[in-house]
Structure 1
Amino acid sequence: MVTTSSPPRLAIAVMGAGAVGCFHGGMLARAGHSVTLIGRPTHVDAIRTHGLRMQTQWFDEAVALRVSTDASAVAGADVVLFAVKSPDTESAGAAMGPHLAPDALVLCLQNGVDNAERLRSVLPDHAVAAAVVYVATEMAGPGHLRHHGRGELLIEPSPHSTQIAQALAEAGVPTEVSGNVRGALWAKLILNCAYNALSALARLPYGELVQRPGVVDVMRDVVAECKAVAQAEGVTLPPDVDATVRRIPETMPTQFSSTAQDLMRGKPTEIDHLNGHVMQRGEALGVPTPANRVLWTMVKLAEHAFADSRPAEQQPRR
């Protein structure tokens, strides 16, 4: 990559063309960058035929870009936006590894706090930078992105972070390079732990969720546990975590959590990397996390209830 006063058009690959990947890839494509989305056949076929429908708070239009179902489509990319689900981190990273350009930056846009480290373990010869994503989005149908609010990014420093941050900002995605991405990732984890499981179990968006009896009190217990685990981990949290948690229903009132979206579609969730991660680290560090344990357990039960309700021909082999 070469930095100039007028940034060059970048070749961008999006590994994991779900809601987060489609939002950021689509915004960069609208700004003139060469973008390839890599995702499931249902979305790829729809986008290839009709373009990516971006129904955002600012515009509603079809965006033309390249699509593929194969990890080899990362070949030649300057930047890979890595946005697969957390359980797929190692397998997706290994699949694209042989095709990455030597100087490509892999920008990790995932939930959870340890995905960049896990990705580096399978891509030891490539630059991987963690990012914190603040956007409310969903895939409303094949090739159809619906945006509910926000959209900013916080990026870990790397040799090319400043360049991609500038490109994202010019594309309408406010982006900052920060020296405390670890603290910001934990702050985001705390938000997810407070809202994701409850939104999923109640099947309610954030604005309605917090109006239900007892919800705010449960969230307060979850947040307190998360902060205690973070402190035991030596994480420096931003000073406004509690205020940020309280503001979510105002900034994203119609948003269902990603865990809720997964459960409603019958897909496995990322709960092991959210409340489950806090529970596991709490056990290792001697910090009690009963509220997080209950939410993790309830979501795991909901996952199994869906799996057991499927017709026999759709059940996984055991």
Structure 2
Amino acid sequence: MKIGVVGTGAVGGYFGACLGNTGHEVVFIARGDKLVKMKEKGLTVQGTEGEFTVSGAFTESYESLSDVDLILFCVKSTATKIVAEALVPIIKKDTLILTLQNGVDNEETLASLFGSVRVFSAASYIQAQMTEPGLVKQIGNSPRLVIGALDESQKEVAQQLTIMLQNAGIETYLSSNILKVKWRKLLWNVTFNPLSALIESKVGVILDNDDLKTIAIRICQEATKVARKAGIPVEEDIWVDIMEKSHVSRNHETSMLQDKRNGKQMELESICGYVVKKGKEVDVDTPVLETIYGLLKLEDNNLTLVHVK
């Protein structure tokens, strides 16, 4: 299969490299120093299972994706609409889109542009960073994916994609309710991402500090109430499970923290803003999350102004 990776960061780089390492033809879309380095030396993955380097096509041109069969859509949520719109006139009418993004709102945007039968969603569980251009470092537990179709008629295709990913050495599971799975992941993200970005520390710092842990729990409880009121069948006490299982991620630098440290716009709207907005729609207050969201939005706006200048 010919595969395009749109957004060759830690997530797209890791999973795209695994596919390339097992014989698939992969086209990686990248920019700047990353593109230069990968053209010179390929893309290297250093992980708990070893190290490998893939060559392949590294380019900044979307035109190179005109004949791909599948796109791993891995751009930041802030760029979903503009990138998807750029791809619409370029890719084939039957090219499949698999989003590995954070949040639960990207699927709606992608489905509106490509049609729901072409869009598949994946919850990715991976601790990884692109520590330098062309080098992805993965730590912690083995990465895994849970994927599913947005349209029920595409279950068979989702199963085929699952098998393809499994054959590439990626621990992958098929879900019949992928949006529930994505919501569960969003609950983890909204619990730890904004707070870790605000204090500029790893997950373990939150877990080890009673005050910070209390704030994290309250955020998780607020978001859970929103999910349940919106009809997502998640457990009322899911926060207990989230906090217990987060100890394996104590050395993890969340994606929002990485973005902030790298001077990039944070995924505030997909991780925080969406939950706050949905809470207002279903009449659930989210005061703790809304406070953290407001503080980070101020920082994000200041960062944007600096780049504009």
1: distance between equivalents of 2:89 and 2:116? 11
Instruction: Indicate which of 228, 246, 249 corresponds to 2:246.
Output: 249
Q: What residue is the counterpart of 1:175 in the other structure? A: 172
Is contact 1:148-1:252 (8 Å) kept? no
Change in CA separation of 1:240 and 1:165 when aligned onto 2, cut-off 3 Å: farther
Question: What CA deviation, in whole Å up to 9, does each residue of 1:277-301 have, x standing for no partner?
Answer: 1111111111000011011112112
Aligned twin of 1:143: 134
2:241 & 2:37 partners in 1: Cα distance?
36
Q: TM-score scaled by structure 1?
A: 0.90
Please list the CA deviations of residues 108-159 of structure 1 after superposition, one character each: whole Å capped at 9, or x if unmatched. Answer: 1111102111111122386011111111111101111111234111111335
Identify, as 1 or 2, the structure richer in helix.
Answer: 2
**Alignment RMSD, CA only?**
1.8
Q: Pick one of 33, 36, 39 that aligns with 1:42.
A: 33
8 Å contact from structure 1 (residues 12, 36) kept in 2 = yes
For residues 12-52 of structure 1, the C-alpha deviation after alignment (integer angstroms, 9 at most, x for no partner) is 11111111100110111111111111122321111110111
* Aligned residues of 1:276 and 1:292 also touching (Cα < 8 A): no
Q: Which one of 290, 297, 300 corresponds to residue 303 of structure 1?
A: 300
Gaps of 5+ in 2: none
User: Sequence identity, in percent?
Assistant: 28
Provide Cα deviations, 1:177-213, integer angstroms capped at 9, x if missing partner: 2111111111111101000011111221112331123
| Equivalent pair of 1:206/1:248 in contact (CA under 8 Å) | no
- Asked whether the equivalents of residues 187 and 238 of structure 1 are also in contact (C-alpha less than 8 Å), the reply is no
Aligned to 1:154: 146
Q: Distance in 1 between matches of 2:210 and 2:217?
A: 13
CA contact (8 A) 1:54 1:61 kept: yes
Counterparts in 2 of 1:217 and 1:66: CA distance versus 1, 3 Å? same
Is the Cα–Cα contact under 8 Å of residues 94 and 123 in structure 1 kept in the other structure?
A: no
* Alpha-carbon spacing, 1:218–1:229, altered in 2? closer, same or farther (3 Å): same
Residues 238 and 100 of structure 1: CA distance in aligned 2, closer, same or farther (over 3 Å):
farther
1:28 correspondence with 2:19: yes
- The one-letter code matched in structure 2 to 1:171 is A
Task: Report the alpha carbon displacement of residue 91 of structure 1 after superposing the two structures with TM.
Answer: 1.0
Match of residue 308 from structure 2: 315
Moved more, 154-163 or 113-122: 154-163
Alpha-carbon shift at residue 244 of structure 1 (Å) = 4.1
**What's the offset of the Cα at 1:64?**
1.5
Structure 2 counterpart of 1:106: 97
Most deviating of 27-36 and 245-254? 245-254
Asked if 1 retains the 8 angstrom alpha-carbon contact of 2:123 and 2:181, the reply is yes
Question: Once superposed, which parts of structure 1, at least 4 consecutive aligned residues long, lie more than 6 Å away?
Answer: none
Instruction: For 2:251 and 2:167, locate their aligned partners in 1 and report how far apart those are by CA, in whole Å.
Output: 27
With 116-125 and 278-287 compared, the bigger mean Cα shift is at 116-125
Q: Is the 8 A contact 2:224 2:236 kept in 1?
A: no
Number of matched pairs: 303
**TM alignment of 1:216-231, pairs within 5 A:** 216-231=213-228
Q: 1:178 to 1:289 in 2, by over 3 A?
A: same
> 2 CA distance for matches of 1:161 and 1:281?
28
